[in-house]
Chain A
């Protein structure tokens, strides 16, 4: 322990203050001077360790007695809580015990350890350089020599990983047919069905102020890629008073007596947009709060989305069921680089 406790008194004033050194006076703890206090501390530590043992017993008992399974919510809650509290005691007992021990009975005055500069000594550095030089000489590839050998090695090393990476990455993306984004299950004549049970929807079912969450008829019977198709095809079917609906130019025959259908997938980053406010005809996305005005072509009125929701053109067939007249006229969901190509 090196402490240079130099006191500067009188004489010339220094440029800077001097380090007074590690405080020499160590204030003793109660346990340092009073054996009774030390014994008390020991008992406290032992009690904490004892608490831990008790916690372990509780945790094991909770496991043995746990009554879970079935529809027993209370049983799950009780066993989780009891077992967890047992574990808590088992851990905190050891933890606080060990720390209390360290704080009261172990050394508490500072020691000093010297640091060494991290930089290697000059001899070591010179030695390293020499060793590398010698090694390079032994390999025959000193500076400026055997360029062909070095070049070919570097090239081989640089491209060799491709032998693993190309097949590996090549397989990751399935068929890489990214044009699938463009199309959904909707096409002319596909009936609109209720999500999730798949029952069909008649125009007369959709009263003013109603919202139907819609999937294409036939989705539930798909053998493969049901979720992928659903992820693109979900639609919201909304009816408002025809007076409130501003039909968009060029889309006069896309709606039916105040009934409109819009893609449910947000044009921002693809959350299902689903909060329909009946009075304002606004559709809010709960993820990032893009707000679309259903009465006005589902155009964005607030939030981080730019584009209106794609509209699904609909009609009513002979039996009164609502059908799609076509697929969406643009890719649904978030923007991507080649979406307009």
Chain B
């Protein structure tokens, strides 16, 4: 079952190579053509569309000119396109109710709309932009350095390999199993909600890519079998009692029952 998926390390090697080649080609093409299309120099059209979307979906809390409201929502002037792409792209925004924990829901906008929203917010003041494909390409990263950085800076909240964990007062750090590399990068850059900011001086763009590479490694599966959520000894103890002791005690009952 699982083993099949895990074997791709071997069998999928040619596929991955081909994919990497393809990705490289498209990237080269996009560099050649669409680099100016990045959020920094977004078209006026996009900004205008974004403003409309903003007024319709975000202004209730953040204010018509995104200046924010005390105690309700922060100002968005200067948060940059990266913050919008992360918050809206993971479904955290728009929020249902103001609070410290923004829950990732179904994404409510399509990629184009998100880009338009991002372009609008980016136009309000300078801020971090959405990283390009090379910046988040796990294949270029060093997972060993990523591990060092992850365990020093991230694992206390997100768990040793990104399984997530609890914060105070009901807040939590989410699991990172399904988070896209771009969103991981953006989260580090902007520090959404409870998460601190890891700017480029603290963690260079290469460092961030190394972290992505480390997290990608985890998706190859666990060497020892099913990973029990990677939440550590509590899960192991629970399984030892439920499954291990359960099975063995079941056998003792079978031994004790008279045969018919």
The answer to whether A and B come from one shared complex is yes
- Chain A positions near chain B (C-beta within 8 angstroms): 29-31, 72-78, 80-81, 95, 99, 103-104, 108, 194-196, 201-202, 204-213, 238, 272, 274-280, 282, 284, 286, 289, 291, 302
CA of A282 to CA of B168, assembled, Å: 9
Lowest 10 A-B CB distances belong to which pairs? A205-B201, A274-B156, A209-B197, A211-B196, A277-B194, A74-B6, A76-B223, A103-B259, A74-B9, A278-B196
- B11-46 residues with Cβ-Cβ distance < 8 A to A are none
CA of A14 to CA of B193, assembled, Å: 80
Contacts of A279 in B (CB 8 A): 100, 193-194
B199 at the interface (CB under 8 A from A): yes
CA of A264 to CA of B169, assembled, Å: 21
B7 at the interface (CB under 8 A from A): yes
B260 at the interface (CB under 8 A from A): yes
CA of A31 to CA of B251, assembled, Å: 21
Assess the A277–B167 pair: CB atoms within 8 A.
Answer: yes
Assess the B224–A80 pair: CB atoms within 8 A.
Answer: yes
Contacts of A204 in B (CB 8 A): 201
Contacts of B52 in A (CB 8 A): none
Known: A201-B201, A208-B197, A302-B168. 11 other contacts (CB 8 A): A74-B7, A77-B6, A77-B225, A78-B6, A206-B201, A207-B197, A210-B191, A211-B198, A274-B156, A277-B171, A284-B167
CA of A189 to CA of B100, assembled, Å: 39
Main secondary structure of the interface of B (DSSP, over half): loop
B96 at the interface (CB under 8 A from A): no
- Chain B positions near chain A (C-beta within 8 angstroms): 3, 6-10, 100, 148-149, 152-153, 156-157, 165, 167-169, 171, 191, 193-199, 201-202, 220-225, 251, 254-255, 258-260
Assess the B168–A210 pair: CB atoms within 8 A.
Answer: no
Assess the B3–A74 pair: CB atoms within 8 A.
Answer: yes
Q: Give the residue name and chain of the B residue nearest to A78 (CB).
A: B3
Contacts of A284 in B (CB 8 A): 167-168
Tally A-B pairs: CB < 8 A. Answer: 118
Q: How far is the CB of A299 from chain B (nearest CB, A)?
A: 15
CA of A138 to CA of B205, assembled, Å: 89
CA of A276 to CA of B65, assembled, Å: 31
CA of A72 to CA of B3, assembled, Å: 13
Contacts of A201 in B (CB 8 A): 201
- Can you offer 10 A-B residue contacts whose CB atoms are under 8 A? A74-B10, A78-B7, A201-B201, A209-B196, A211-B198, A272-B156, A274-B156, A282-B168, A286-B157, A286-B165
Assess the A30–B260 pair: CB atoms within 8 A.
Answer: yes
Q: Give the residue name and chain of the B residue nearest to A283 (CB).
A: B168
CA of A223 to CA of B256, assembled, Å: 63
Assess the B198–A210 pair: CB atoms within 8 A.
Answer: yes
Contacts of B165 in A (CB 8 A): 286
CA of A196 to CA of B144, assembled, Å: 12
